[in-house]
Amino acid sequence: MESIKVFAPATVANVTCGFDILGFAIDEPGDEIILRKTDSKEVIISKITGDDGKLPHDADKNTCGVVIRKFLKDLQIDQGIDIELHKMMPLGSGLGSSAASSVAAIFAINELLGQPKTIDELLPYAMEGERAASGAAHADNVAPSLLGGFVLIRSYDPLDTIKLPVPNNLYATIIHPQIEVKTKDAREILRKEIQFRDSVKQSGNVAGLIAGLLLPDMQLLSRSLHDHIVEPIRSILIPGYDEVKSAALGKGALGAGISGSGPSIFALSDSKTIAENCGEEMSKAFASLEIESEVYVSQVNTNGPKIIN
Ligand code: HSE
């Protein structure tokens, strides 16, 4: 194989109570990457579209370049690679934009070179892409984008990820307002310590959310979709947050919260119709504040990245 084109999906991280430990993949949007073998021994980025010129073309600074270079170095392969990246989702959106690029890159290079590593072995590479993008190698976007589905990161050291079952009738609504929030900034404003009682409440909800998926029990899922630690701080960065969340709950969503580090807001529902109605109402709430937005309705994407012909 001389070249490959890969799509990797966007993701919703945290899922309210699961800061840095829960995330799920959605069908769209996502990023596309094209890798071509070259005769030189260099990894270069020849083209990036859809980023308004914001992403670095220097392969040492770009998430795609970082993960591919590390992969080739570890495997002691001096293959030249030309990278073409097509960003098909906004940066700083809370949809796991850098994660989709990192995952597309690591999945594509592994396929291009004949799968020298297993999918699970690719995860730490994608996490290095996150470190390059936000300063923190969190896995709650890259793990679901790479493995597909709804993923729990039980532990970071050692890395231990678990793919959770997803009820067939679970639908996500994601609304992206035209505002940019950098994950790095949204992490810096968080408190370094939390109250013991908040930790107890949050643990109860994480456990309830996972039990809700496993049983499955939608009402338990609904009772568990609360965040007592991060939402009160980060929601300040999102104009109209309370109104948009209330709009989703008013239309029958099981719960709603900040998608990743925001500004996107997600809701979960137990039918497609409710999920679509939530999207309309959430969009109206942003519009009443003169904020334009895009809505995505999707089931949990259990496939992860895919090769495009
Ligand atoms: N868990 C990460 C955070 C996700 O909330 O900072 C970023 O998309």
Which residue, 18, 4, 76, 5, is CA-closest to 204?
18
What is the per-residue pLDDT for 20? 97
CA–CA distance, 265 with 240 (Å, rounded to integer): 11
CA–CA distance, 223 with 230 (Å, rounded to integer): 18
Which residue's CA is the closest to the ligand 1 atom numbered 4? 260
Q: How confident is the model at residue 309 (pLDDT cuts 50, 70, 90)?
A: confident
When pLDDT is averaged across residues 256-275 and rounded to a whole number, the result is: 98
Q: Among residues 130, 161, 231, 281, which one is catalytic?
A: 130
CA–CA distance, 137 with 145 (Å, rounded to integer): 15
Yes or no: say if 218 and 254 are a contact pair by the CB < 8 Å rule: yes
CA angle 214, 282, 202 (to 5 degrees): 40
Specify the DSSP element, H or E, that contains 111.
helix 97-112
What is the per-residue pLDDT for 17? 98
Q: In Å, how far are 17, 47, 143 from 56, measured between CA atoms?
A: 33, 11, 24
Residue 76, pLDDT above cutoff 90: yes
Which residue's CA is the closest to the ligand 1 atom numbered 3? 261
What is the per-residue pLDDT for 108? 98
CA–CA distance, 156 with 94 (Å, rounded to integer): 21
CA–CA distance, 262 with 295 (Å, rounded to integer): 14
CA–CA distance, 117 with 109 (Å, rounded to integer): 10
CA–CA distance, 14 with 230 (Å, rounded to integer): 10
When pLDDT is averaged across residues 5-18 and rounded to a whole number, the result is: 98
Q: What is the pLDDT of residues 282-298, one digit of tens each?
A: 999 999 999 999 999 99
Ligand 1: does its nearest atom lie under 6 Å from the Cβ of 141?
yes
Ligand 1: does its nearest atom lie under 6 Å from the Cβ of 140?
yes
28 is a catalytic site residue: no
Q: In Å, how far are 6, 39, 43, 65, 220 from 80, measured between CA atoms?
A: 18, 6, 5, 12, 51
% residues pLDDT > 90 (the chain)? 97
Q: What is the pLDDT of residues 193-251, one digit of tens each?
A: 999 999 999 999 999 999 999 999 999 999 999 999 999 999 999 999 999 999 999 99
Which residue's CA is the closest to the ligand 1 atom numbered 1? 20
Domains of the chain, start order: 3-164+302-307 (3.30.230.10), 171-299 (3.30.70.890)
- Model-level pTM? 0.97
Amino acid, res. 173: T
CA–CA distance, 168 with 208 (Å, rounded to integer): 19
In a mutational test of the pocket of ligand 1, which residue from 93, 134, 140, 264 has the highest number of ligand atoms less than 8 Å from its CB?
Answer: 140
Residue 134, pLDDT above cutoff 90: no
In a mutational test of the pocket of ligand 1, which residue from 22, 101, 187, 258 has the highest number of ligand atoms less than 8 Å from its CB?
Answer: 187
* 290 phi-psi bin (left φ>0, alpha ψ -120 to 50, beta other): left
